[in-house]
Structure 1
Amino acid sequence: MHETPALHELLERQLGLASPEVARILDRALSGHELTIEEGERLFATHGRDLFLVTLVADELRRRAVGDVVTYVVNRNINFTNVCIKRCGFCAFSRGHREEQGYFLPLEEIVRRAREAWELGATEVCIQAGLPPKMDPDLYPTICRAIKAELPEIHIHGFSPEEVVYGALRARTSIEEYLLRLKAAGVGSLPGTSAEILDDTVRQRISPGRITTAQWVEVITTAHRLGIPTTATIMYGHVETDRQRAAHLALIRSIQKETGGFTEFVPLSLVHSEAPMYRKRLLPDLRPGATGEDVVKMHAIARIMLHPYIRNIQVSWVKEGPKLAQWCLNAGANDLGGTLINESISTAAGATYGQLVPPRELRRWIREAGRVPAERTTLYEIRTPLTDEDPPHPLDAAAEHPERFGSYFQLIQDERFAFRKHYRIVLDAIPARAEAGAEKR
């Protein structure tokens, strides 16, 4: 074996300069022990050599859990309206129902977008939107039934806990009953968004009127009990403390240990530039989003605290861009999310990394990071062979003409989809569609 004494000496010196407390915590993690909230909080305070060790341990746990494969899903986001009765301080996407830029996609357009995505090789549509006023309680199930009637094999990843609570409220039914309606209509999994920080003191500051931590947990655990898998998220980089970040991860871990229903954990850093609470200086201690160091820490510590219960840690290219996303693949992450096609929410907030990345580009990023790319389904079944060859994909060619998909900024100016013109028509049509759907069943 070729010895490299200079390198060994350097590593020993670096390790010797690391904090003994951090080294002890990381040794516990590598030995299979669950970290406490206090230990997670300590890791969030690391810098320099200590942070370097955190990323090394996260990378090792990633390798143990999933090996060197990095996955992605070919999907399309369909954010069918930006009109919302709630005005969260971090959300630059939402509009009031009287605003000129409010839009609502007719059912036919939603189905058209889903069909176009399927024809271009997508396996998933992600359905999320604002909470429109006086919503018909059958709106969400109607959307799902219409998509499934035309595309029975496509996976509907739809409706956050916030939307589920709103739908159940409008339907005057329980969370469980409403989730059963969504499942019967074709929902295959729920996005675990609207989590933000699962601490009500933070939630009341950045999004008063949003669902509580207990409501988020109720929707998620009920979905898992009913056989509906979900993702889990965190939105960080605003007013939360290191302890609140660590407590959020510990809560996600405890739910997963109980239900096993999370498919992935997705850290989402705040895109601050257009967020109302930032532009209007509503919170004196608000940070301008996460730093690069924060992003690396979050992915690494998520891997460490959630291991081995949640296998997949996703890094968002929309939030972080390709360069930082690649680096997070060396700090615990093993998934790059989706192609998206129409990303609206982060774009509205000021994200500048585009609304679509085709499979060919995602695979290039993964290979440049020294890893093995693979397309997956929503539920993490591998769809492509693990070879050095990139299989041709129809979305690659379509992405050379992104204008065919339209942009978010075009959408909010498009009179064809103006909320004030179409929303009442859609609501009036839902009872008839619901009856037709019932007859088919």
Structure 2
Amino acid sequence: MDKSNIIIEKLNNHQRIDVNEGLTLFRQADFLTLAGLANQKRFYHHPDKIVTYVVDRNINYTNICASGCRFCAFFERPDKGKGYIISKQDLFDKIQETLNLGGTQILLQGGMHPDLEIDYYIDLLTFIKENFDIHIHGFSPPEIDFIAKKSCFSIEKTLSILKAAGLSTIPGGGAEILCDDIRKKVSPNKCTSQEWLEVMRQAHLQGIRSSATMMFGHIEKDVHIFEHMDKLRRLQDETHGFTAFIPWTFQPDNTRVAVKKKTAVEYLRVLAASRLFFDNIDNIQASWVTQGDKIAQTALFFGANDMGSTMIEENVVASAGVDFMLSREELTRLIQRAGFEPRQRDCYYHLL
């Protein structure tokens, strides 16, 4: 029996595979074998034919950022005078429109703005909570790490202040690849892998749940992809705080990383591998924002059980020249056409 077959047998018996076994399978198994295994695992975790989605809006409170990541086409440098900080009126209008469209949450993210103190974030959250009954899914680990360092507070204290002001859950952004040799090259001014993981650890300990992401297809190798997933899986064993894993491909247009864009097949292979590797994260999300509707639909047969957000607004990926947009009606039709039942969910994956 060759090595791949032994690994497949382990998966069929719902046994955990390690990094080396994951890599072996990823490198050796053919495309449809990976798809079949991931689809089987998807139904093991979610026996029904439901595919979930959330109605929300991505609000970027500022695009001014000191990080200078080579892969980002959205940010503006602090000294260039081209950036913005959202006004209270704009924020109010965007949230009101989200609620009018049936939205249940906002994804609140921005750049690492060197002039904003923690009081700004407290005021931002308080303003939202005083005016709206809406879930705030906000501030990725690099932002929280940046706020903590700027305030000379611990991560634990920073999170507890933000939570008290209205923060409910944290998006898994800014993870890129959680290997510091890669991070130093693509996002040298962002928090380290360990700092990213520590923000998530402390959040989970305070009952703040989060998603986890991976941006691949830039300068990493397949071994880094599995190293990244292994770090997330170990933390999930410890805290059980991750609600979902979202792998998505780097979009090279308008950025300073000259690489060829990953193909749909490469995306789907990684997606399938993530479903097989994460025996302790319930939900795997398809990325229609970077892949478009047809590939996102195909992803439902490669291990994904969630379509993510309707994205009433999205600016970061759009800045890299990708502008797939889907209305709630189109998203639900897409799910139905693939033979699944679309169901709106909240941030905790409770069906609404």
1:295 corresponds, among 244, 263, 267, to 267
Deviation at 1:325, TM superposition (A): 0.5
1:349 aligns with 2:320: yes
Question: What is the TM-score normalised by the length of structure 2?
Answer: 0.97
1:215 aligns with 2:195: yes
Deviation at 1:316, TM superposition (A): 1.2
Answer with 94-103 or 214-223: which moved more: 94-103
1:232 aligned residue = 212
Residues 131 and 166 in structure 1, CA contact (< 8 A), matched pair in contact too: yes
Deviation at 1:277, TM superposition (A): 2.2
1:42 corresponds, among 6, 9, 24, to 24
Higher CA-based Rg: 1
1:105 aligned residue = 86
Residues 312 and 334 in structure 1, CA contact (< 8 A), matched pair in contact too: yes
2:110 aligned residue = 129
Distance, in Å, in 2 between the alignment partners of 1:156 and 1:348 is 24
Show the 5 A alignment for 1:306-325: 306-307=278-279, 309-325=280-296
2:185 aligned residue = 205
Q: Deviations along 1:23-69, whole A, 9 cap, x unmatched?
A: 2212211212111111111222246xx22111101101101111321
Task: Give the counterpart letter for 2:128 in structure 1.
Answer: I
Show the 5 A alignment for 1:31-430: 31-46=13-28, 50-67=30-47, 68-99=49-80, 101-151=82-132, 153-278=133-258, 287-307=259-279, 309-354=280-325, 357-383=326-352
Deviation at 1:100, TM superposition (A): 5.3
Structure 2: which 5+ runs fail to align? none
Answer with 108-117 or 19-28: which moved more: 19-28
Secondary structure in structure 1 of the residue aligned to 2:137: strand
Distance, in Å, in 2 between the alignment partners of 1:210 and 1:167 is 12
Distance, in Å, in 2 between the alignment partners of 1:259 and 1:88 is 29
Task: Give the counterpart letter for 1:381 in structure 2.
Answer: H
Deviation at 1:263, TM superposition (A): 0.6
Task: Give the counterpart letter for 2:165 in structure 1.
Answer: A
Distance, in Å, in 2 between the alignment partners of 1:299 and 1:256 is 18
Residues 40 and 243 in structure 1, CA contact (< 8 A), matched pair in contact too: no
Aligned residues: 351
Residues 218 and 257 in structure 2, CA contact (< 8 A), matched pair in contact too: no
Task: Give the counterpart letter for 2:346 in structure 1.
Answer: T
Q: Deviations along 1:408-437, whole A, 9 cap, x unmatched?
A: xxxxxxxxxxxxxxxxxxxxxxxxxxxxxx
Secondary structure in structure 2 of the residue aligned to 1:162: helix
Deviation at 1:107, TM superposition (A): 2.3
Distance, in Å, in 1 between the alignment partners of 2:177 and 2:18 is 18
1:27 aligned residue = 9
Task: Give the counterpart letter for 1:312 in structure 2.
Answer: N
Q: Deviations along 1:220-259, whole A, 9 cap, x unmatched?
A: 0000000000000101001111111111111111111111
Distance, in Å, in 1 between the alignment partners of 2:230 and 2:78 is 38
Residues 26 and 54 in structure 1, CA contact (< 8 A), matched pair in contact too: no
Larger relative helix fraction: 1
Distance, in Å, in 1 between the alignment partners of 2:246 and 2:71 is 18
Distance, in Å, in 2 between the alignment partners of 1:353 and 1:359 is 13
Distance, in Å, in 1 between the alignment partners of 2:81 and 2:113 is 15
Distance, in Å, in 2 between the alignment partners of 1:228 and 1:147 is 18
Deviation at 1:295, TM superposition (A): 0.6
Distance, in Å, in 1 between the alignment partners of 2:124 and 2:244 is 25
Distance, in Å, in 1 between the alignment partners of 2:42 and 2:197 is 26
Kindly indicate whether structure 1 or structure 2 has the higher relative contact order, using CA contacts under 8 Å at least 6 residues apart.
2
Distance, in Å, in 1 between the alignment partners of 2:223 and 2:344 is 35
Deviation at 1:187, TM superposition (A): 0.7
Residues 344 and 351 in structure 2, CA contact (< 8 A), matched pair in contact too: yes
Residues 273 and 288 in structure 1, CA contact (< 8 A), matched pair in contact too: no
Percentage of pairs with the same residue: 36
Distance, in Å, in 2 between the alignment partners of 1:362 and 1:298 is 23
Secondary structure in structure 1 of the residue aligned to 2:208: coil
Distance, in Å, in 1 between the alignment partners of 2:176 and 2:28 is 23
